[in-house]
């Protein structure tokens, strides 16, 4: 194998790579949400407090990853098509957000959050996840359709 040769990835390894990338990006998305929230409520200095970021992001990430297997949001047939990806992302986030709000209330022992908090949380994370996952689907679809298949 020459230095310029690249090993071909099998469909299974490509699927695993996509899943790892998606999970990593999803986790980063929840951290972005936590950064926005903490910066707006506590100021920019709160962004250096990694434990607070993790505690803020964790309930919503947990909700997302609990619902995700049931909606197929990591399946290659979904993740490579923009419309399917965005639809499944929204569907997954509806359930994930509800679970995240409950987990957050249990952790904080704060009861039901105000409706405005729930709506802002739902919308903000949906936008972040949609931007990330939509970009991923667009890139995968574009890369897949422009890369000639080798035999």
pLDDT for 8 equals 52
Residue 59: give the domain boundaries. 17-145
Q: Are 67 and 37 in contact (CB under 8 A)?
A: no
Residue 4, domain member (yes or no): no
As for how many domains the chain has, the answer is 1
Tens-digit pLDDT profile for the chain (151 aa)? 444 444 455 556 667 898 999 999 999 999 999 999 888 877 666 666 788 899 999 999 999 999 999 999 999 999 989 999 999 999 999 999 999 999 999 998 888 889 999 999 999 999 999 999 999 999 988 866 554 544 3
Residue 3, domain member (yes or no): no
Residue 8, domain member (yes or no): no
Residue 71, domain member (yes or no): yes
Residue found under tokens 């950064």: 35
What are the pLDDT digits (tens) for 63-95?
A: 999 999 999 999 999 998 999 999 999 999 999
CA angle 38, 128, 83 (to 5 degrees): 165
CA distance 81 to 94: 20
- What would the two tokens of residue 105 be? 């209330």
Residue-by-residue DSSP string for 83-147: HHHHHHHHHHHHHHHHHHHHHHHHHHT--SPPHHHHHHHHHHHHHHHHHHHHHHHHHHHHHHHHS
Residue found under tokens 């049931």: 70
């Amino acid at each position: 194998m020459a230095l310029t040769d690249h090993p071909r990835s099998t469909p299974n390894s490509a699927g695993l790579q996509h899943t790892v990338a998606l999970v990593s990006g999803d986790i980063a998305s929840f951290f972005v949400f936590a950064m926005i929230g903490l910066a707006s409520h506590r100021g920019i200095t709160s962004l250096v407090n990694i434990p607070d970021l993790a505690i803020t992001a964790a309930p919503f990430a947990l909700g997302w990853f609990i619902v995700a297997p049931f909606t197929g949001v990591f399946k290659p047939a979904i993740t490579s098509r923009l419309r399917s990806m965005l639809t499944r992302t929204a569907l997954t986030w509806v359930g994930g957000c509800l679970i995240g709000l409950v987990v957050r209330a249990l952790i904080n022992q704060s009861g039901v959050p105000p409706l405005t908090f729930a709506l802002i949380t739902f919308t903000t994370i949906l936008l972040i996840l949609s931007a990330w996952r939509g970009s991923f689907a667009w890139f995968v679809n574009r890369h897949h359709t422009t890369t000639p298949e080798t035999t």
